[in-house]
Amino acid sequence: MEIPIGRDILSANDALAARNRALFNENRVLVLNVMGSPGAGKTEFLVQILKILGSGFAAGIIVGDISTAADAERYDVLGLPVVQINTDRFGGDCHLGAHLIEKALGHLDLAGLDLLVIENVGNLVCPAEFDLGEDLRVVVLSIAEGEDKPVKYPLMFRECDAVVLGKMDLLPYLQYDMARVRANLDSIHPQMIRFEVSARTGAGLEIFLPWLRDQIRRKSPAR
């Protein structure tokens, strides 16, 4: 059972991703591709981050799900431009592809944005294979998922620039070994930037935010 079309799909995607990337660079928009398991807490984390990012930065959101507009509705409180992609119209795709981002860009005014956050479909496998044209890849990993995910899903953790260890407020109630998850991250991607946050209590957001603002300013020095 070979899948010879695999390589063709990936190279077609890469060509479209390069086109997206050129557009992002032209408009000096920093683009984050945020990935993670279903229920890792991607939306909650991003809502909290965007709430306190600061009025000096104009952000937009593209959110991918197989079905429902539930996540787009959760972003509504921010009053920011949000485009929801439902992949069930595209065969229930388990990831976002560059062509879907290209379509979504038709609904966003890139020239007016400093930051575009793409929340990918909840999945630790397939999204890592598809370049969307982003500047940075971030994986959100809830500590409720256990310490072994970096070694069990190595491509995701190798491909991402940063990991956000989330739901840290649950630490007292889990048998979770922080030293072990750190060692697992070291074994897969030692240079990975690491954050430990709780979107619910706000802990750790004060470390992530200056890093994010710094990344935005590097892309758009006028900010």
Quick check: 133 and 101 in contact, CB under 8 A? yes
Choosing from 22, 25, 26, 39, the residue that interacts with its own copies (CB under 8 A) is 39
User: Any contact of residue 5 with its own copies (CB under 8 A)?
Assistant: yes
DSSP H stretches of helix in the chain: 6-26, 42-51, 70-75, 98-105, 149-152, 154-159, 178-188, 205-219
DSSP 69: S
List binders of its own copies among 129-158 (CB under 8 A): 129, 142, 144-146, 148-149, 151-155
User: Any contact of residue 92 with its own copies (CB under 8 A)?
Assistant: yes
User: Any contact of residue 200 with its own copies (CB under 8 A)?
Assistant: yes
Strand 115-119: give its sheet, edge to edge. 82-86, 59-65, 115-119, 30-36, 136-142, 162-166, 193-196
User: Any contact of residue 121 with its own copies (CB under 8 A)?
Assistant: yes
Of 33 and 198, the one with the shorter C-beta distance to its own copies is 198
User: Any contact of residue 45 with its own copies (CB under 8 A)?
Assistant: no
Q: Helix 98-105 to helix 6-26 angle, to the nearest 10 degrees?
A: 30
Quick check: 7 and 92 in contact, CB under 8 A? no
User: Any contact of residue 168 with its own copies (CB under 8 A)?
Assistant: no
Residue 13 beta carbon to its own copies: minimum distance, rounded to whole angstroms: 7
Query: In a 3-state reduction of DSSP, which class is residue 213?
Result: helix
Q: Is 79 exposed, middle or buried (0-12, 13-18, 19+ CB in 10 A)?
A: exposed
- Closest CA relative to residue 160, chosen from 168, 149, 176: 149
Residue 78 beta carbon to its own copies: minimum distance, rounded to whole angstroms: 19
Choosing from 47, 58, 94, 136, the residue that interacts with its own copies (CB under 8 A) is 94
List binders of its own copies among 201-220 (CB under 8 A): none
Residue 56 beta carbon to its own copies: minimum distance, rounded to whole angstroms: 31
Alpha carbon distance 44, 74 (integer Å): 8
User: Any contact of residue 38 with its own copies (CB under 8 A)?
Assistant: yes
Alpha carbon distance 109, 94 (integer Å): 27
User: Any contact of residue 54 with its own copies (CB under 8 A)?
Assistant: no
List binders of its own copies among 173-192 (CB under 8 A): 173-175
Size of the site for its own copies (CB under 8 A): 48
What the block records as the tokens of 167 is 């739901």
Binding positions for its own copies, rule: CB under 8 A = 1, 3-6, 9, 12-13, 16, 37-39, 65-68, 70, 88, 91-92, 94, 97, 99, 121-126, 129, 142, 144-146, 148-149, 151-155, 167, 169-170, 173-175, 200
